[in-house]
Chains A and B, each alone.
Chain A
């Protein structure tokens, strides 16, 4: 066992390293927050202004009033929420079947699903762009959501399959004896007991879909339909009109929902990241 003195020494060392890690990871966020509250002269001042002496909350008001950010946020919410729901609707039956049925080539089939996890979205977006133009599906949320769903499906299916595996088959048998069909069993028994797994999967799908960029960037050109990631690039490219502090404020607005969600629900996120990826 460590002596008291040694223990104190190691603990202090850990704290010093904690501080380094914290600065490295939080500094960029601090900087964007700080910039978002500056006055125009403060942006260009040296020595640097760390904390604005006169925090400009108007910068945020400007973004809300003068840009389409609310539309972008709203679009992101619609796209992300739909993606979560549809991913679950598609992935739950597949995950259930992978978990409960025995059939030939099951392992090969699972690997087949996983292959698509590795494919770069930019590669599929290009033929899809042509296809969507041809069938007049470009600039539509629902066709876009289908692509978002597909991108999340391999992980979601694997993850839910893993979770369903942990739920005893005895529950299935009991439900069957009670006269439940498979669908009733899934709806009335499996889904309620799988809530933590489904929650973790939903959060991960949500965070990843919120970040999704290349798909909407290629498949949308109507700015009224942009999610927040593409909207921000749009603001950035009009940067002559919009100076740094406004861009910083817009960035803060775009990341705040994710950060709040993350801090509040990090237990599920850590669980989801670790169980899905490391097992199997």
Chain B
């Protein structure tokens, strides 16, 4: 680590001009809007109103409305299950691809590419594709498969509130697994062969090796991944918008969608802004944890 406060050693040039374009863009597109949204949250403004008064009403009505609690629960369920399964599947596939690579099996690159492709497809289109698959008619492909296998008949994937939340979460897991997979895969590449071989000599079996050796070594990577994926999932908008639009009713209205709906459909800028502040606080909390982990990693590394 470099010590703070070391003067430019004779270079005598100022770093600030190099950052001016970056700072200008960040100020305009992030700092100004964040200040504005916090300010709006304390007003009763409509979308384009210029006359409004300062009030705490947005927050009081937000926190007392049953819709808000419900929205938080929906978001929580969506985030928790998305993140958990993305990480478990990501880890499993990363281990699989890693083994395949080490064993020089054919087709390993095909697998990696297939998984990554899911990540590269725009969220809107993922929503549209899954909407087609969740088609509830008999010709809907998932319903057809489930009934052919005798598992279930005519599942109301998207028209039943609870099912819809499950459906949205599954589609999101499909979308996000690739990112976790590739991060964990990269982490696996940093584990030296010696460590694995030492544990082989110790006679550790595959499961012991996974939980006693590999996962502990990977834990910094897993943690960073956890934070990034959690933030991404809290911010999800496009895929849900295309798949359910937040419905039926408001049963899949996650927080980012709720902000949008309050402002652009109900024209309640104050309320939407207050919800946005809640999302910002969640993002800020995640960022703080992230920084703590980064710091710890650097001390270890």
Contacts and interface: CB of A to CB of B under 8 A. Distances in A.
A170 interface: no
B144 to A, nearest CB: 5
Interface in A24-68: 24-26, 28-29, 31-32, 35, 43-48
B139 A133 contact: no
Interface stretch (B21-29, B62-70, B161-169): B21-29
Given A21-B115, A126-B263, A94 B241 contact: no
A100 B23 CA distance: 18
A280 B220 CA distance: 11
B224 interface: yes
Given A120-B283, A153-B25, A278-B187, A254 B144 contact: no
Given A28-B129, A122-B256, A127-B36, A90 B237 contact: no
Contacts of A232: 122, 124-125, 128, 242
A82 to B, nearest CB: 14
Given A146-B29, A229-B122, A259 B117 contact: yes
State the majority secondary structure of interface residues on B. Answer: helix
Contact of B279 (A120, A251, A259): A120
B260 A97 contact: no
Contacts of A247: 128, 132
Interface string B1-25: 0101111110101010011011001
* A-B pairs, 4 with minimum CB distance: A274-B186, A150-B29, A97-B18, A127-B36
Contacts of B33: 123-128, 131
B226 interface: no
Contact of B238 (A48, A128, A214): A214
A217 to B, nearest CB: 8
Given A14-B105, A123-B34, A210-B122, A48 B139 contact: yes
Interface in B188-206: 189-190
A130 B40 CA distance: 11
Interface of B: 2, 4-9, 11, 13, 15, 18-19, 21-22, 25-26, 28-30, 32-34, 36-37, 40, 47-48, 93, 96, 99-100, 103, 105, 107-118, 120-126, 128-130, 132-133, 135, 137-139, 141, 144, 174, 178-179, 182-183, 185-187, 189-190, 221, 224-225, 228, 231, 234-235, 237-238, 241-242, 256, 259-260, 263-264, 269, 272-273, 276, 279-280, 283-284, 286-287, 290-291, 294, 297-298
Interface in A237-280: 244, 247-248, 251, 254-255, 258-259, 261-263, 266, 269-270, 273-275, 277-278, 280
Nearest to A150: B29
Given A123-B259, A124-B34, A213-B238, A118 B283 contact: yes
Given A122-B259, A127-B37, A18 B129 contact: no
Nearest to B100: A14
A135 B7 CA distance: 43
A122 B162 CA distance: 26
Contacts of A273: 179, 182-183, 186
29 contacts: A18-B105, A21-B114, A25-B115, A28-B129, A45-B139, A48-B139, A97-B15, A106-B2, A116-B30, A118-B231, A119-B30, A120-B237, A124-B34, A126-B272, A126-B276, A131-B32, A146-B28, A146-B29, A150-B29, A213-B241, A214-B260, A230-B124, A232-B124, A247-B128, A259-B121, A261-B120, A266-B113, A275-B186, A278-B190
B30 A262 contact: no
Interface string A85-122: 00001110110110001111111010101111011111
B120 A258 contact: yes
B21 A90 contact: yes
A43 B117 contact: no
B185 A274 contact: yes
Contacts of B138: 46
A157 B132 CA distance: 39
Given A22-B114, A207-B120, 20 more contacts: A35-B132, A45-B139, A97-B15, A101-B15, A118-B283, A119-B34, A122-B276, A124-B34, A126-B269, A126-B273, A131-B36, A149-B25, A150-B25, A150-B30, A213-B123, A228-B122, A232-B124, A232-B128, A266-B113, A273-B186
Which residue of A14, A24, A127, A133 has the most chain B CB atoms within 10 A of its CB atom?
A127
A241 to B, nearest CB: 16
